[in-house]
A and B are shown apart, each in its own frame.
Chain A
Amino acid sequence: MALGTGCTARPGNSRNNKTGSWRVFRPAFINERCTSCGMCRIVCPEGCIGENEEGLPVPDYDYCKGCGLCAEECPSEAIEMKKEEK
């Protein structure tokens, strides 16, 4: 069976469930305007924004649902929501 006795599962399996495909809008990060304040990483409900060595945000589009909170909260207007082409 896919699940163990008692309907158990090992931790971390939600990573297998990629939730980014239903996005209508994709956040595009404009690094030139970014001040590396980290606000986008804090407000992302999916926790799918990381950072690179230069402190710039790196989104994981496999899990980004396109909610737009990061763009809404970005103090430098460095994130634009662009329509996905499906």
Chain B
Amino acid sequence: MHAQAFPAFGVERRGAPVQAFVRFDNKKIRLRSQIYEPDYIIVQDSTLIKDVNVFYGMKEGGIAIVNTEKGIESPVPKGVKVIMIDATSIALQKIGLPITNTALMGAFAAASGEIGFTALEDAVKRRFRGDLATKNIAAAKAAYDFVKGAA
């Protein structure tokens, strides 16, 4: 199994919109361009939807995970499943900070079935130690369970 993850920054300031891309494949990944036809998208801040066509390039059967409390109004391409989750509240509750990454990873694992929760847990443990790992795993688990329950 091969994987490739990379960011695309806009301006260098905290809070500015950024994109990040992930590919995974059974063979070595040589392609370096950004992703234009995603199978999955994760929108960390739903207020961006009014400025950016986040669904651009998505195909039928694609899944979009959107971090939102009150829902989204914009049109969604045909055949794209939208999963809405209030990851900010989960992160605030479990980690104590509005950092939604691990919660959204949990949501992605549940929605896509591409990665198991144990693998995600291992990855979080490699990235964080001690209390921080426990909190982030809790955030991921809460989101994972929310999506599994909703599905």
* Complex: A85 Cα to B88 Cα, angstroms: 10
Q: Is A15 on the interface with B (CB-CB < 8 A)? A: no
Min CB distance B138 to A, Å, is: 19
Q: Which of B48-102 contact A (CB under 8 A)?
A: 48, 51, 67-70, 88-89, 92, 98
Knowing A22-B45, A22-B47, A24-B98, say if A86 contacts B15 (CB, 8 Å): no
Interface status of B46 (Cβ within 8 A of chain A): yes
* A-B pairs under 8 A by CB, number: 27
Task: Report whether over half of chain B's contact residues are helix, strand or loop; otherwise say mixed.
Answer: loop
A86 CA / B92 CA spacing, docked (Å)? 14
The smallest beta-carbon distance between A82 and chain B, in angstroms, is 12
A85 to B16, CA, bound (A): 19
Interface size range on A against B: under 10
Say whether, besides A22-B45, A24-B98, A86-B47, A65 and B92 are in contact (CB < 8 Å).
Answer: no
B46 touching A83 by the CB < 8 A rule? no
Report whether B68 and A86 are in contact in the complex, using a CB–CB cutoff of 8 Å: yes
Nearest CB in chain A: distance from B90 CB, A:
13
A19 and B92 within 8 A (CB) = no
Interface contact A22-B15, CB-CB below 8 Å: yes
Instruction: Give the CA-CA distance A83 to B91 in the complex, in Å.
Output: 13
Interface centre among A22, A83, A85, A86 (most CB of B within 10 A): A86
Which of A25, A83, A86 contacts B45 (CB under 8 A)?
A86
**In the bound complex, how far is the Cα of B67 from the Cα of A86, in angstroms?**
8
In the complex, which residues of chain B have a beta carbon less than 8 angstroms from the beta carbon of A31? Answer: none
Q: What string of 1s and 0s marks CB contacts (under 8 Å) between A16-29 and chain B?
A: 00010110110000
Q: Which 10 A-B pairs have the closest CB atoms?
A: A24-B98, A22-B15, A21-B47, A85-B69, A86-B46, A85-B70, A86-B47, A86-B69, A86-B68, A65-B15
Enumerate chain A interface residues (CB-CB to B < 8 A): 19, 21-22, 24-25, 65, 83, 85-86
Q: Which residues of B contact A (CB under 8 A)?
A: 15-17, 45-48, 51, 67-70, 88-89, 92, 98
Instruction: Pick 14 A–B contacts, CB within 8 A, sort by A.
Output: A21-B48, A21-B51, A22-B16, A24-B98, A65-B15, A83-B89, A83-B92, A85-B69, A86-B46, A86-B47, A86-B67, A86-B68, A86-B69, A86-B70
